[in-house]
Amino acid sequence: MSAVFVAGEVAGRAVPVVAGVLGAGGVAVASLPSRVRMRAELRRRWRTWALSAPLFIGAFFVGRAGAFVLAAGLGAVAVGEYARMAGLPRAERAVLVAAAIAVPGAALAGPDPRTTGALLVLAVLAAVCAGDAEQGFTRASRTLFGLLWIPVSLSSLVLLGDTALAVGVAVAFGDVGAWCGGTALGRRGPLSRRLSPLSPNKTWAGVVGAAAATAAALTAVGAFTPVLWAAVLAGCVLGDLVESMVKREAGVKDAGSWLPGFGGLLDRIDSLLVALLLVMVVTL
């Protein structure tokens, strides 16, 4: 697969696919009877999907500049949420915000390990210069993890073009598929086993649902390959567990509270971040 930025066939196919699914979903949630326990929650989630999908897809029609703005915007918000959960001091927060803009910006010219390397050194330098003998290593480690997890992942929106768009659509479908699979198949039997203690509500039934949904999404937008599908599916599974690990140590339920139906931005893009990293590994 090519890493050249192209907003073409996948983008053209993604619009009717996503619009059709959103339309069908809107009719479904509007028709839910009042006795359904999650009706209000599902409606909030649908509204969030309906607002965010055009912004995500539309950025790729603008080209590299649109992808950069999307990556920088998502990154600036996400690193703020992460820094609060990780309890990072102001200096490290500033490094993460700068990286959220600089790393995707450097990607406009293609893969550039120099910018990422410089920011990684800067992340460690803040704790070293502070002379923090008690928490310095923890601060530096958490900052380094945040850099790799968020800005570096999101830089692939600029680097991968149509492939990144396909990944974003597939991950969104995968999240819905995981919920449907867990609800329909996760009540009893071998698929009801918990996936990990990090996220007790996640079961193997959800993995089955995510596998089917991601394969369907990639096929619908004309981007399916076994390798890409495996990377996306692994991202869907691991991404949620990674954020659950961070939130459990931080002692919080959600990364934020401003995104209706999801909590914070990180709660919405956790799977996308890991999926994008894995796709960069298999494509660049």
Question: What are the pLDDT digits (tens) for 99-149?
Answer: 999 999 999 887 777 777 887 888 888 889 888 888 899 999 999 999 999
> How much of the chain, in percent, has pLDDT values that exceed 70?
97
* Residue 5 confidence (pLDDT): 41
Residues 65 and 200: their CA atoms lie apart, in Å, by: 40
pLDDT at residue 4 in the model? 40
How many other CB atoms are found less than 10 A from the CB of residue 95?
A: 25
pLDDT tens-place string over residues 226-250: 999 999 999 999 999 999 999 999 9
Task: List the Cα angle 127/91/270 in 5-degree steps.
Answer: 95
Strand ranges (E), 92-238 = none
Which residue stretches of the chain have pLDDT < 50?
A: 1-6
First-to-final CA distance of the chain: 8
pLDDT for residue 192: 86
